[in-house]
Amino acid sequence: MSYQWPTLSDWLEQLAAPFYQQGYVVLEQAIPADLCEALYQDVLQQQLTAAGVGRHGQHQLDKQVRRDQTCWLDGDHPVQHQYLQLMAKLQQDMNQRCFLGLIDFEAHYARYQQGDFYQKHLDAFIGRSNRVLSTVCYLNAVEQGGELVLYDEQDQLLSKVQPKAGTLVVFESCRFPHEVLPASDTRYSIAGWFRHNSSIQGRIDPAV
Ligand SMILES: O=C(O)CCC(=O)C(=O)O
Ligand SMILES: [Fe+2]
């Protein structure tokens, strides 16, 4: 896989323009091809563990809801740091253009193996989470299965995304229900969330 990555300002424009119009964007070839390849090699080395639902003591392993395996990104690791730096640029730009007040970004690698899925859900509920924008970046191409399906607020199908290395999806966390259909081929991605700074009942990031 190789492609020419645009200038930073073109990149930001390609993401921001559709996002501003519709609250979500699906952009192919959205991270540099060599970075994508390095992240893919990196995730293959990681110890991934079964993902849970909820946080802060309410963390549950719920295999009815999701079956992926995850590992949080760590800014001390050079390749992961590069990805986080790129997302920091996006954060800055989103704050300037859309006044979102994002202060922070958290992200994890995820692996969906054959049969793994994530049922339809929202990443945040108004007043119950600091997650503002959800991001998913795909690290490998899959022939079939594992599509991300995005719905609108009326539960109408908006977009079905076939994972492809370098594709980035960004959407408003509390607005778009979405699901991951059962994977056939093993599928690697980075799911991340930009957050803002309101504490809710004294906690910075309660369960979603
Ligand atoms: O991997 C995807 O396409 C979406 C994952 C997701 O919805 C999540 O981790 O919350
Ligand atoms: Fe999600």
Of ligand 1's listed atoms, the one at least distance from the Cα of 134 is 10
Please name the residues in contact with 85: beta carbons below 8 A apart, sequence gap of 6 or more.
none
Alpha helices in the chain (DSSP H): 8-22, 33-45, 78-98
What is residue 126's predicted lDDT score, i.e. its pLDDT? 74
Q: Is 25 in the pocket of ligand 1 (CB under 6 A)?
A: no
Task: Return d(Cα 112, Cα 185) in angstroms, integer.
Answer: 8
Q: Which ligand is nearest to the CA of 68?
A: 1
Listing DSSP states for 148-177 in one string gives: EEEE-TTS-EEEEE---TT-EEEEETTT--
- Predicted ipTM? 0.99
Does 53 map to a domain? no
CA dist., res. 14 & res. 26, Å (int): 10
Q: How close is the Cα of 177 to the center of ligand 1, in Å? A: 11
Domain contains 32: yes
By alpha-carbon position, which residue is closest to atom 10 of ligand 1? 123
**Cα 168 to averaged position of ligand 1 atoms, centre (Å):** 12
The per-residue pLDDT for 127 is: 73
Establish whether residue 66 lines the binding site of ligand 1, counting it when its CB lies within 6 angstroms of any ligand atom.
Answer: no
How far is residue 207's CA from residue 181's CA, in Å, rounded to a whole number?
24
Assess if residue 29 is contained within a domain: yes
Could you tell me if residue 3 is inside a domain? no
Whose alpha carbon is nearest atom 5 of ligand 1?
Answer: 191
CA 123–ligand 2 middle distance (angstroms): 5
Is residue 2 situated within a structural domain? no
Res 3: pLDDT: 86
Q: What is the pLDDT of residue 64?
A: 79
The model carries a pTM of 0.91
What is the domain range of residue 74?
23-48+65-196
Mean pLDDT of successive 10-residue segments in the chain (208 residues)? Answer: 86 95 96 97 95 58 84 95 97 93 95 96 84 97 96 96 98 97 98 82 50
CA–CA dist 147, 140 (Å, integer)? 13
Cα–ligand 1 centroid distance for 136 (angstroms): 6
- On whether residue 57 sits in a domain, the answer given is no
205 falls within a domain? no
Q: Look at residue 34 and tell me if it is in a domain.
A: yes
Q: How far is CA 161 from CA 13, 64, 101, 103, 138, in A?
A: 21, 22, 28, 28, 10
Q: Which of 25, 31, 49 has its CA nearest to residue 134?
A: 25
C-beta 116 within 6 A of ligand 1: no
The CATH number assigned to the domain holding 153 equals 2.60.120.620
Q: Which residues contact 174 (CB under 8 A, 6 or more apart)?
A: 122, 123, 124, 125, 126, 129, 131, 132
d(CA 149, CA 181): 7
The total number of structural domains in the chain stands at 1
Ligand 1, residues 180, 181, 193: which to mutate, most atoms within 8 A of Cβ? 180
